[in-house]
Structure 1
Amino acid sequence: MKSHGKKLISIGFVLLMVVVAGGGQNVFAADTLKFGFIADVSGIGATFYKSQKAGIDLFIEEINAKGGILGKKLEVIVRDAQLKPDIGANLARELILSEKCDYLIGPTSSAVALAVTKVAKEFKKIIYFHTSNSEALTTTDFQPYMFQVVPNTGIEGRGMALFLSKKPYKKYALIGPDYAYGHDQLDNFKKELAKRKPDAEVVDTVWVKIGESNLSPFIPTLMAKSPDAVYSAFWGGQLSSFLKQAAPYGVLKKAAVSSLFDLDLLRAMGADMPENLTGYARCPFYAVNTPEMKAFVKKYYEKFHEWPADWAIMAYDGLVAATTAMQKANSTDPEEVVKVLGGLKFASLRGERYIRAEDHMANVGIYVGVTHKDPQYKDFLIMKDVVEIPAEQIWLSVDEVKKLQAGK
């Protein structure tokens, strides 16, 4: 009997080793929830990626220290889409099929986002968008396995038109990158401006290839009809180039220039950033006075020794929303989580927010202010007199969303 018992124990031990060495990998994998981050790491997306990844890493570090979500630790796997839609779509498939990611984190480029959202729909994996923000993602290209925590191009374009319509400017010239984001942004600006201020006129719209850094040839055309105001849809390095190259032409003295003045742009410009320009940001830490934001900024600064850019905040917020949905569904299965996305309330760093059921757009607005020097931030300018324009004032109505989703 003793000999027989020892044999059974030996056989059991061998089987256990086989499970651990082979099939046991699946046991350990089941304890990990993988997020595939289709990032735009290289080129003009590099600065954005650094901030996005920092926000994601901080969230994962915090939640894993608390035991994870529903007993699972979070892990992020990064791929570089290089701002190219075809590469982004292929990488999304690789992350799902090879890396076994159940959730995807969207890119910087809206063009890439429109490609990868189709892959997420195909495989029924949830993706959230924190920086890429084409309104098409929630309208003509909407699919239920996505949600957006960044103000979309419609909210931005209409929000700035609403704000600037109260100024005395009558003649506007527009300039922006020639792809989905730029067209969405400027088209919405023009339509809203016409509605809010019928006597205002857009005298010219200038399109520039995304990533083009030599903008001097385009500036004379932009200013040819003597606009009172210039509204730009540039971002990142292209916006920095525009502001620097516009100065010798006297653009900043001849017209009121407005654009997206996020923290990374302000830091990159440093002392070269002009004062008294009206612009907007998506989530400026210095202008959002919530307990959640204050706690986040403190932890972020202690960990990374710099202030958090808008991209870090929104990437973090997306994970807040995703894990809140998992808790509500009491499951990490995307098929269960997708059922609770519509109407979901979550504790955003911007205060409590919700995801609208019809388009999975979070009610996040824009923050408009004027650039100035602040003694607390010696190396870069921030915006003062910041006001929030809530999403509810400027996003599409539910009826408008449904018509666009239906192709009408």
Structure 2
Amino acid sequence: MTRQAWTMAAVLALAAGQAGAQGVIKIGEINSYKAMPAFLEPYKKGMELAVEQINAGGGIAGKKLELVIRDDNGNPGDAVRAADELYAREKIDVLTGSFLSHVGLALTDYAQQKKRFFLASEPLTDKMVWAQGNRYTYRLRGSTYMQVAMLVPEAAKLKKKRWAIVYPNYEYGQSAVATFKKLLKQAQPDVEFVGEQAPALGKIDAGSVVQALADAKPDAIFNVLFAADLGKFVREGNTRGLFKGREVVGLLTGEPEYLDPLKKEAPLGWIVTGYPWYAINTPEHQAFLKAYQAKYQEPPRLGTIVGYGAIQSLAAGLRKTGGSADPEKLIAAFKGLEVDIPFGRITYRPEDHQSTMGAYVGKTAYDAKLQHGVMVDFHYADGKDYQPSAAEVRQLRPAR
């Protein structure tokens, strides 16, 4: 082949590549897959199902969605470096993801510094939409404040005076505890907090934690642990009788990612937030459940809902912009954006960029047929009913 022919071939190949790129919207996604596989493997499948369904329906303004995924190793610095790489090398159009709150906050700051739209899918910290919120960042999952606010009325009904608390010692746990203390004190002024244990995430010494809580002689316990820490805490607590005669309120404990692995050791009668996928009979959830199980031959997890909802949210925003991923257009599109997810319709509030995604609140039990813990006596707590007012948000969120 002559040099001229080679040049022509290269030009044609470049043109074809550009034409192909113009027909694709690249979604860059960053998350702690290695650190939190129980939640994030189902989460990834939820994203993939949503992408498949959207593309099968013609995509967005004739463009297909494409996922480009990176692992942040549970490290804020790695997450920011991954974001830079996704934009520079992969030429992504929009950014989403993150699980751990401190990692999510790093990406929130990155979005502001780089003036890039960021949809945080899972991190729960209130700082993301309040103290450190910015115009470029929106968040899907119900915040720590919202989920704690869903549990406090149930905790107050117990009329227990002496409370002990256990939580992972990083942003999520600290935020949850501060909100619980504030809201429970408002609901029950005579409450006392008699003991606190705050092990480092993933490094709990369950024996010493359980003993310290028992020594505090609480009437009830507020538990914020999750993943492997929760399993170790429950097993040691069962062995030492910590939970006998004591009420326990558990944030996230009812999520199947964390409840199922406990099998017969599942706690009984705890008041929790979670996801009873096996007993939600709404039309939107049943349609989702049928599609997910047909594709993966396994039950969904809460992570599945979050991953699916994140992609559906981005798709809804992109439809409003006519397929443009321009940050300013997406910011405008997400203000008051309504999205249908398996939990029903949610709205992204203009005041703080927080969605109204809710959670299920109920009690833990053991199902002999399923051979693992389940949620019973549950109800759906709509997130819009557990958010601060617009006036309160103006005090919590700086103008940026």
* TM-score band w.r.t. shorter chain: over 0.9
Give the distance between the partners of 1:143 and 1:53, measured in 2 at CA: 26
Query: Which residue matches 2:313?
Result: 321
Give the distance between the partners of 2:396 and 2:267, measured in 1 at CA: 39
Query: Which residue matches 1:51?
Result: 42
Query: Which residue matches 1:273?
Result: 266
Deviation string, structure 1 residues 148-182 (Cα, Å, up to 9, x no partner):
22110111122211221111322110110111000
1:67 aligns with 2:58: yes
- What are the within-5 Å matches in structure 2 for residues 4-23 of structure 1? 17-23=9-15
Query: Which residue matches 1:354?
Result: 347
Query: Which residue matches 2:289?
Result: 297
1:308 aligns with one of 300, 304, 322:
300
Greater CA deviation, 286-295 or 383-392?
A: 286-295
Give the distance between the partners of 1:94 and 1:18, measured in 2 at CA: 26
Give the distance between the partners of 2:147 and 2:350, measured in 1 at CA: 20
How far did 1:112 drift?
0.4
Does structure 2 retain, via aligned residues, the 8 Å contact 1:162–1:192?
no
Distance 1:21 1:233, change over 3 A: same
Query: Which residue matches 1:389?
Result: 381
How far did 1:23 drift?
4.1
Give the distance between the partners of 2:311 and 2:234, measured in 1 at CA: 34
Distance 1:300 1:158, change over 3 A: same
Deviation string, structure 1 residues 205-253 (Cα, Å, up to 9, x no partner):
2111011143211222222221111111111111111111211221111
Percent of pairs with identical residues: 27
Gap runs ≥5 in structure 1: 1-11
Query: Which residue matches 1:7?
Result: none
Does structure 2 retain, via aligned residues, the 8 Å contact 1:130–1:311?
no
Query: Which residue matches 1:232?
Result: 223
Does structure 2 retain, via aligned residues, the 8 Å contact 1:258–1:278?
yes
Does structure 1 retain, via aligned residues, the 8 Å contact 2:348–2:356?
yes
Give the distance between the partners of 1:247 and 1:129, measured in 2 at CA: 36
Give the distance between the partners of 1:202 and 1:389, measured in 2 at CA: 26
2:246 aligns with one of 255, 267, 275:
255
Give the distance between the partners of 1:310 and 1:321, measured in 2 at CA: 16
One-letter identity of the residue aligned with 2:196: T
One-letter identity of the residue aligned with 2:115: K
Does structure 2 retain, via aligned residues, the 8 Å contact 1:366–1:390?
yes
Query: Which residue matches 2:185?
Result: 194
How far did 1:368 drift?
1.1
RMSD of the alignment, in Å? 2.1
SS at match of 1:308: coil
1:145 aligns with 2:136: yes
Does structure 1 retain, via aligned residues, the 8 Å contact 2:101–2:172?
yes
Does structure 2 retain, via aligned residues, the 8 Å contact 1:124–1:334?
no
SS at match of 2:197: strand
Give the distance between the partners of 2:12 and 2:289, measured in 1 at CA: 42
SS at match of 2:346: strand
1:373 aligns with 2:366: yes
Deviation string, structure 1 residues 327-374 (Cα, Å, up to 9, x no partner):
122232233122121111111211111111011111122321111234
1:342 aligns with one of 335, 341, 361:
335
Give TM-score, length-normalised by structure 1.
0.91
Distance 1:17 1:262, change over 3 A: same
Distance 1:287 1:314, change over 3 A: farther
Does structure 2 retain, via aligned residues, the 8 Å contact 1:172–1:229?
yes
Give the distance between the partners of 1:315 and 1:284, measured in 2 at CA: 17
Does structure 2 retain, via aligned residues, the 8 Å contact 1:326–1:337?
yes
The structure that has the greater radius of gyration is 1
Deviation string, structure 1 residues 34-85 (Cα, Å, up to 9, x no partner):
1111110113x11111011010111111112222111111111111111111
Does structure 2 retain, via aligned residues, the 8 Å contact 1:342–1:360?
yes
